[in-house]
C-alpha cells in the first residue's frame, strides 16, 4: 500500500521556500531557483525561445509580484501562503511561483529522462493499470482543461495516485472558496497555459503533452520535496 506523508512534507519545495533576500537581487523572501539545464537543452520537445520566455518572464514575474506583495517580509513559507492564500495576488503569484518551481525542477534533457523508480512505477501500475494508461489519462485531463491551467499527478488522501487539473495558477491543495479541488499532494505537474507551448505547437496541446514525457526527469520526481509522498507500509 502507498500512504501519503504529512501534507507539510509532501508539498514543500525546498528550492523555493524561506530563501533569505540578497541585497540587489530580491526585495522579498523568495529567489528564482537555478535551472538544471540550458535553455536549448530540451529541444526539440520545448524550444529555446519558449524556455527563455517561460523562465525569465513568467516564472520570474510570479516571483517578483509575490515578493512585492510581501515587501518587508524577510522570511515566508511558500506552502503556507499557497495553502491558504489571503488575496488574489498571493493566490495567483504564490501559486504561479510554486507551480513553476515544480515544473522546471522535474525536466531534463531527453538523454537523462530514464524511467520512474521501482516504488513509483509500482504505484502507477497499481493505480492506473500501466504507465501507458496513466499517460493516456493524463493526456485526457490535459485536453479537457478549458483555458489556462495545470495537470497534476500526485497522491490522494487515501494513499492512491490520481490525476487532476487546476485552473490558472491554483494548486490541488489550495483552499479557496470559489472552487473545490480534489485534494492531492502533487509530485509531477505540467503547465498547459499557452505560453508553455504555443511557439512550437500552436494550438496542438495534445502534441505538447505527448512530447513532454520525453523530458521528464524521473530521478528528480521523488526528490523534488524534502520528503517523498510515497512510502512502503
* pLDDT over threshold 60, residue 8: no
From residue 89, alpha-carbon distances to 65, 107, 126 in Å are 8, 27, 39
Annotated binding residue 54: yes
| Model pLDDT for residues 43-80, shown as the tens digit of each residue | 999 999 999 999 999 999 999 999 999 987 766 788 88
| Residue 119 exposed, middle or buried by CB count within 10 Å (0-12, 13-18, 19+) | middle
The answer to whether 191 is a known ligand-binding residue is yes
pLDDT number for residue 157: 87
- Going across the sheet that includes 185-191, the strands are 161-167, 149-155, 185-191
| pLDDT of amino acid 18 | 35
Q: Is CATH 3.55.40.20 the right assignment for the domain spanning 1-20+44-225? A: yes
Q: Please name which of 60, 74, 72, 91 lies closest in space to residue 29, comparing C-alpha atoms.
A: 74
**Domain residue ranges in the chain:** 1-20+44-225
Where is mean pLDDT largest: 10-19, 79-88, 204-213? 204-213
In the beta sheet, which residues pair with residue 133?
A: none
Per the prediction, the chain carries an average pLDDT of: 84
Greatest pairwise CA separation for the chain in angstroms: 51
pLDDT attached to residue 88: 93
pLDDT digits (tens, 9 = 90+) for 187-222: 999 999 999 999 999 999 999 999 999 999 998 886
pTM of the model: 0.85
Between 88 and 22, name the one with better pLDDT. Answer: 88
* DSSP 3-state of 39: coil
| Assigned C-alpha cell, 146 | 478549458
Q: Is 58 annotated as a binding residue?
A: no
Exposure string over 65-99, b if 16+ CB within 10 A, otherwise e = bbbebbeeeeebebbebbbebeeeebbbbbbbbbb
Give the contacts of 42 (CB within 8 A, at least 6 positions apart): 51, 107, 109, 110, 215
Q: Is the pLDDT of residue 12 over 50?
A: no
Q: How is residue 202 written as a grid cell? A: 500552436
CA 110 to chain CA centroid, nearest Å:
19
Average pLDDT over residues 117-143: 95
pLDDT tens by residue, 134-193: 999 999 999 999 999 999 999 988 888 999 999 999 999 988 878 888 788 899 999 999
pLDDT of residue 29: 87
d(CA 86, CA 230): 30
Task: Taking residues 118-131, report their average pLDDT.
Answer: 94
Burial 157-186 (b: 16+ CB within 10 A, else e): eebebbbbbbeebbbbbbeeeeeebebbbb
Amino acid at each position: 500500500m502507498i500512504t501519503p506523508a504529512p501534507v507539510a512534507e509532501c508539498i514543500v519545495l525546498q528550492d523555493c521556500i524561506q530563501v533569505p533576500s540578497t541585497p540587489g537581487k530580491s526585495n522579498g523572501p523568495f529567489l528564482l531557483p537555478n535551472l538544471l539545464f540550458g535553455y536549448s537543452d530540451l529541444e526539440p520537445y520545448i524550444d529555446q525561445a519558449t524556455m527563455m520566455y517561460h523562465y525569465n518572464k513568467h516564472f520570474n514575474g510570479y516571483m517578483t509580484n509575490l515578493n512585492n506583495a510581501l515587501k518587508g517580509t524577510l522570511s515566508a513559507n511558500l506552502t503556507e501562503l499557497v495553502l491558504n492564500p489571503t488575496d488574489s495576488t498571493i493566490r495567483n503569484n504564490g501559486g504561479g511561483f510554486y507551480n513553476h518551481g515544480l515544473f522546471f525542477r522535474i525536466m531534463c534533457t531527453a538523454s537523462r529522462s530514464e524511467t520512474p523508480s521501482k516504488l513509483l512505477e509500482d504505484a502507477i501500475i497499481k493505480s492506473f493499470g500501466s504507465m501507458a494508461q496513466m499517460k493516456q489519462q493524463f493526456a485526457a485531463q490535459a485536453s479537457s482543461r478549458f483555458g489556462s491551467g495545470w495537470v497534476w499527478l500526485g497522491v490522494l488522501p487515501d494513499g492512491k495516485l490520481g490525476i487532476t487539473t487546476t485552473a490558472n495558477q491554483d494548486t490541488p491543495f489550495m483552499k479557496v472558496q470559489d472552487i473545490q479541488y480534489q485534494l492531492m499532494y502533487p509530485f509531477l505537474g505540467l503547465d498547459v497555459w499557452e505560453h508553455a507551448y504555443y511557439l512550437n505547437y500552436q494550438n496542438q496541446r495534445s502534441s505538447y503533452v505527448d512530447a513532454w514525457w520525453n523530458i521528464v526527469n524521473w530521478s528528480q520526481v521523488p526528490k523534488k520535496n524534502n520528503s517523498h509522498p510515497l512510502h512502503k507500509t
